[in-house]
Chain A
């Protein structure tokens, strides 16, 4: 596996260089050996373009791609030694499972007993051992995806494994199984894995680092828990977490954030609170219903309750705004008027859409 470095990589399909022309705005990025990265963002945010630049399907209109000490910008896909799993399972329909897994090795002219050993090993790992003799086209979609991955794993020289929304066409129950399998393989092989998805759950469970993208830019990158706790922008707050982070229009006055006329205590040092128009961000998971009035407690009105099985999403109206509260099933849900507490340590402040740093 290799370390992948993107130096001032940018791509514009039209060839233009104005900011609006870029599908991927010029950026610097390093993906370390053996780590897992998830590119997360809505359709058209540039994540697939970035992946295709790494795999060599797209030649960037500017910048260089390095695998370790090697500049691979001009190299075609075949010579980059990457493995890629596409959204739709790609198998050689006329071949058996064994022949599919052996294909990259046959292309590399390995001896047949060496191929047999390696394919057997990978097939066992992927739970495909019993199906080696079967025609590949008869398998289920998730098994076909495993074959796609297996064709990458059988090779010993792979620089990175790239996955472009590999779970999109998989049935939900199979998805869970396949996701677990992928994670298991990843833990064992310590792959440099780049995973493109628009599903935050997938990104959260897989990646050691998540890159949230929007409009061709990386808005924020970091470990999943950091992105959850400290969304850099309101966009990331909306995008990460389900339901999205609550944002309330407020005003900074002295060391307090005033919402609906009520001054709220935050974990921000007094001189850090910006004065004037700000937004308060607080996760639905951290809001709580309380019985008595007190600090940071607001009068609310329960409007709607959605049952999500293990949790319930309670929508309340507070100070003219709608707020969502995520409650564990065993906790009681108030009806009508209620008191809502915003824990000071979990309040984030945003100015012009950007997080105000805590320290």
Chain B
């Protein structure tokens, strides 16, 4: 009888095995081989690929860039999302319209929106420079200047993902009890004091969740870079996942790309765990 429960668990376990465990173990095995165009198949070269990864400056630069991009966009998304949520939280006119409006970017397909943004940012034909020209500002090299390309990628990412932050924070705000806000009003606190003493502390747990979820998502940034800049100009906007894609699926160095993936995975797990712990400690404190 007792064995039966495992039979019920089996379908779930099999799926888990097929889509997570097997690919992971297989990737680890592949990363220890020289599988590529000239060596089609598994062989054994030990940790040679990993030694290569350690020396691969382009990869580490992409990692640093990714860190900057992810942290930068997520912080801006948090500030914007929180502001928008605070704006439509209380009874204001057309509240429902605003709520739906703010969510539109999230409902679009990221890759298609990236194509549209590429058009917007087009230096001679795009509406961005056209509008700037009308108010007398010189054309901006949106996608060809190293700094501006990075800014462009960040703008698109922020535009795409702020609604998600907004949605999480709005639901957090709506689930807060009324009394602390009333008590603050009775104590004579203005909007700013109320925010820092009541709203923000009450929202700390959900803020941490929202930030961590978005950081995990943002670390995987790929399609925006791929469509908008293809990592360029040069390697100015190349992120880790895009670089892995280039090495693995364009150069077809399967073995080396696998070792890059595994390295990336380990760094991400460690970094995000530390970030989550730090966020919990600083934002929630001993409450947690």
Binding site for B on A (CB under 8 A): 55, 57, 76-78, 82-84, 86-88, 90, 92-95, 103-104, 107-108, 135, 137, 148, 151-152
Contact = CB atoms under 8 A, between A and B. Distances in A.
Contact of A103 (B182, B185, B187, B285): B187
A90 B188 contact: no
B101 interface: no
Contact of B197 (A57, A88, A103, A148): A103
B286 A135 contact: yes
B23 interface: no
B201 A107 contact: no
Contact of A107 (B177, B179, B189, B287): B189
Given A57-B182, A86-B182, 10 more contacts: A77-B185, A78-B185, A78-B188, A86-B179, A90-B183, A95-B197, A107-B190, A137-B287, A148-B183, A151-B183
B197 A92 contact: yes
Interface of B: 177, 179-180, 182-183, 185-190, 193, 197-198, 201, 285-287
Main secondary structure of the interface of B (DSSP, over half): helix
Contacts of A94: 197, 201, 285
Given A78-B188, A104-B187, A84 B182 contact: yes
Contact of B198 (A55, A87, A92, A151): A92
Contacts of A104: 187-188
A93 B198 CA distance: 8
Nearest to A138: B286
Contacts of A151: 183, 187
A76 B185 contact: yes
Contacts of A57: 182
Given A95-B197, A103-B197, A137-B287, A90 B180 contact: yes
Given A92-B197, A148-B183, A103 B189 contact: yes
A82 B187 contact: no
A135 B287 CA distance: 10
19 contacts: A55-B182, A55-B186, A57-B182, A77-B185, A77-B186, A78-B185, A78-B188, A82-B186, A84-B182, A84-B186, A86-B179, A86-B182, A90-B183, A94-B285, A107-B187, A107-B189, A107-B190, A135-B286, A151-B183
Contact of B186 (A83, A93, A135): A83
Contacts of B198: 92
B182 A88 contact: no
A43 B177 CA distance: 20
Nearest to B178: A57
Contacts of A92: 197-198, 201
A211 B188 CA distance: 30
Contacts of B190: 107
Contacts of B179: 86-88, 90
Given A88-B177, A93-B201, A94-B201, A107 B185 contact: no
Contacts of A103: 187, 189, 197
B204 to A, nearest CB: 9
Nearest to B180: A90
B62 to A, nearest CB: 39
**Which 5 pairs from chain A and chain B are nearest by CB?**
A107-B188, A104-B187, A90-B183, A78-B185, A86-B179
Nearest to B285: A94
A56 to B, nearest CB: 9
A1 to B, nearest CB: 16
Nearest to B286: A135
Nearest to A87: B179
Contacts of A93: 201, 287
A95 B189 CA distance: 15
A88 B183 CA distance: 11
A55 B186 CA distance: 9
A330 to B, nearest CB: 47
A104 B198 CA distance: 13
Residue of B185, B187, B198, B285 ringed by the most chain A CB atoms within 10 A: B187
Nearest to A80: B186
A84 B285 CA distance: 28
Contacts of B180: 90
Residue of A83, A90, A108 ringed by the most chain B CB atoms within 10 A: A90
A102 to B, nearest CB: 10
Nearest to B201: A94
Contacts of B285: 94
Residue of B179, B183, B186 ringed by the most chain A CB atoms within 10 A: B186
A137 B284 CA distance: 12
B135 to A, nearest CB: 42
B287 A78 contact: no
Contacts of A90: 179-180, 183
Residue of B179, B189, B193 ringed by the most chain A CB atoms within 10 A: B179
Given A90-B180, A137-B287, A78 B197 contact: no
A206 to B, nearest CB: 21
A77 B190 CA distance: 12
A93 B187 CA distance: 15
A78 B201 contact: no
Contacts of A82: 186
Contacts of B201: 92-94
A86 B183 CA distance: 9
A65 to B, nearest CB: 16
A103 B184 CA distance: 9
B24 to A, nearest CB: 41
Given A92-B198, A93-B201, A107 B193 contact: yes
B246 to A, nearest CB: 47
A95 B185 CA distance: 17
B196 to A, nearest CB: 9
